Amino acid sequence: MIRRAALAIALGAGVAGLAACSDAGDTPASAVEGAAGLTVSNARVVLAPVAGNPAAVYFDLSYSGAAPVTLSSVTVEGAGMTMIHDYAESAGKMQMTMADNVPLAADAPVTFAPGGLHVMAMEPTAALAAGGTAKVTLTLSDGTSTTVDAPVRAAGEER
């Protein structure tokens, strides 16, 4: 009886270990701590409904560094170029604007999400395919950077 219980526990642990190693395309990238106390979580690339149009990149940032820094650039593997955008009101209308440097301070999380800060991945190549992953590199004003693997989602999938 004890032998069966031990075997069942061992098998259960093995299955759980294999499940943890699976590549689930619908699961957001886990938190990655990198450059100068920067933690990136929930990273994902969302393709446009029309092939060849820019993709959007979303993620959550937290920063624990002692000195304030800015997010100065983001690159996406499989994109010709990227731009950091935000929305601002101008003449009574919401308009997309460039956000060249996004300030990061300790204990002040920053979210890149639809309708707010986001990264546009311009000139996407065939390498950005739904169900795959893309390397997204965030560079700070102090010159340090962090790279995360972000799942690539088709247009219309959960953002």
Per-position pLDDT tens, the chain of length 159: 444 333 333 334 333 333 333 343 443 455 665 667 899 999 999 999 999 999 999 999 999 988 889 999 999 999 999 999 999 888 999 999 999 899 999 989 999 999 999 999 999 999 999 999 999 999 999 999 999 999 999 998 876
Alpha-carbon span 132 to 134, nearest angstrom: 7
Length of the chain: 159
Kindly report the number of other CB atoms within 10 A of residue 53's CB atom: 13
For the chain, the C-alpha Rg in angstroms (whole number) is 19
Helices within the chain (DSSP H only): 2-21
Which pairing describes strands 145-153 and 79-90: parallel, antiparallel, or unpaired? Answer: unpaired
Phi, psi of 14 (to 5 degrees): -65, -45
Q: Which CATH architecture has domain 27-153?
A: Sandwich (2.60)
